Structures are given as structure tokens and as C-alpha cells.
């Protein structure tokens, strides 16, 4: 059964088997035997190309959380094995979405770290406290900590505690 076209299309377009045909008129110059989309195929291709070129620029508008630390490396110098080194790293979210922390990964049990807030809103800061225990360590040390975001296993930001641990001299 043939359905009547919508009232606003009467006199200008007809629908045949789901395809829209434009009746010839002075407004469009579209021939009656070509579908509207086929007639404007070149214009649609150009529009699609422009959208594809602009999409990466528009995607940058919402970048998500972006954590930044001005000094992600703390060099504690030379210490002996009795030292316990503490440092506080300040982390800033320069993104446009809230960062949600899943965990703080450390390189080994000699290094511990925790953040004062599991959620860091855009423009806000949080403090990462790191404690390195030099006991049973000797020589050059470079211990890493990684902030792992919720929903991912990939680190967002990596921090380092670096220095040299002098072994305790034997008293014999």
C-alpha cells in the first residue's frame, strides 16, 4: 500500500520504497530521477571529510584527567642503612575530568606510598607521601611508585626516590 507523503513534503518530494526523490523545482535544481542523497553525494562527501579532519581537534576538548607533578624525582643523596627517608610529592590535575585513584604501586617492600585523596578534581592538588626504608639496602637505589587510575592497569604518573645507601661498617 502506498502511503501519502507528509503534508510538508507534498509538491516537493515523494517517498518510493524508502528513498526520497525530489521533484524538480527552481529551489534545488535536482532532477526528478535522482534521489536527493545521490544528487548531493559530492556535498555529503565533502562534509564527511571536513568532520573527519575536525574530529581530532574536537576530541581534544575533553581530554579527561591529566596528572602533573613538577618534581617527580626526589634525590635523597647518600644515607646509611639506618635511614628512613620521607618525601611528599604534590600532584595536580590539569585535565577536565576528576582523577580517581585505584592504587599506588611500589617497586618493593622497602618503599611505601599513599595519597591524601583518592579523587582529584580538575584544578585541584593532592599529596603523595612516600617513605623509603634503607635497611638491608646498599649501593645506588632508584625506587619507583606509580599511580594507577580506576578502570585501568596502566600508570598515570610515575615517581622516583633516588640515592645511595652506604652499608653499615662491621664493628669487629
With 0-12 / 13-18 / 19 or more C-beta atoms within 10 angstroms meaning exposed / middle / buried, residue 73 is middle
Q: Residue 90 belongs to a domain with what CATH number?
A: 2.60.40.10
Backbone phi, then psi, for 145, in 5-degree steps?
Answer: -130, 140
Instruction: Tell me: do 55 and 76 sit in the same domain.
Output: no
Stretches where the chain sits below pLDDT 70 are 1-62, 170-172
Instruction: Tell me: do 87 and 106 sit in the same domain.
Output: yes
Decide: 149 and 128 in contact? Cβ < 8 Å: no
pLDDT at position 17:
55
Q: Which residues on neighbouring strands pair with residue 30, listed in sequence order?
A: none
Instruction: Tell me: do 145 and 87 sit in the same domain.
Output: yes
| pLDDT digit string, tens, across residues 36-67 | 445 445 566 666 556 555 555 555 555 899 99
Domains in the chain: how many in total? 2
Question: Is residue 171 one of the residues assigned to a domain?
Answer: no
Instruction: Tell me: do 78 and 110 sit in the same domain.
Output: yes
C-alpha distances out from residue 61 to 57, 96, 98, 105, Å: 7, 9, 15, 30
DSSP state for residue 83 in the 8-state scheme: -
Instruction: Tell me: do 85 and 148 sit in the same domain.
Output: yes
Separation CA 39–CA 30 (nearest Å):
7
pLDDT at position 51:
54
Instruction: Tell me: do 55 and 74 sit in the same domain.
Output: no
pLDDT at position 155:
82
Task: Transcribe 24-46 into DSSP letters.
Answer: P-TTT---TTSBHHHHTHHHHHH
Instruction: Tell me: do 35 and 73 sit in the same domain.
Output: no
pLDDT at position 156:
85
Instruction: Tell me: do 49 and 123 sit in the same domain.
Output: no
Amino acid at each position: 500500500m502506498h502511503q501519502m507523503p507528509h503534508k510538508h513534503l507534498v509538491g516537493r518530494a515523494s517517498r518510493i520504497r524508502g528513498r526520497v526523490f525530489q521533484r524538480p523545482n527552481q529551489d534545488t535544481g535536482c532532477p526528478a530521477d535522482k534521489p536527493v542523497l545521490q544528487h548531493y553525494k559530492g556535498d555529503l562527501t565533502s562534509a564527511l571529510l571536513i568532520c573527519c579532519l575536525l574530529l581530532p581537534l574536537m576530541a581534544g576538548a575533553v581530554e579527561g584527567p591529566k596528572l602533573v607533578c613538577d618534581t617527580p624525582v626526589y634525590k635523597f643523596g647518600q644515607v646509611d642503612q639506618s635511614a628512613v627517608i620521607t618525601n611528599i610529592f604534590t600532584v595536580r590535575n590539569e585535565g577536565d575530568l576528576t582523577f580517581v585513584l585505584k592504587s599506588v604501586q611500589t617497586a618493593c617492600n622497602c618503599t611505601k606510598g599513599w595519597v591524601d585523596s583518592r579523587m582529584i578534581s580538575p584544578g585541584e592538588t593532592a599529596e603523595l607521601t612516600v617513605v623509603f626504608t634503607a635497611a638491608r639496602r646498599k649501593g645506588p637505589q632508584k625506587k619507583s611508585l606509580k599511580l594507577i587510575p580506576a578502570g585501568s592497569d596502566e600508570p598515570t604518573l610515575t615517581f622516583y626516590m633516588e640515592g645511595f645507601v652506604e652499608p653499615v661498617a662491621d664493628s669487629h
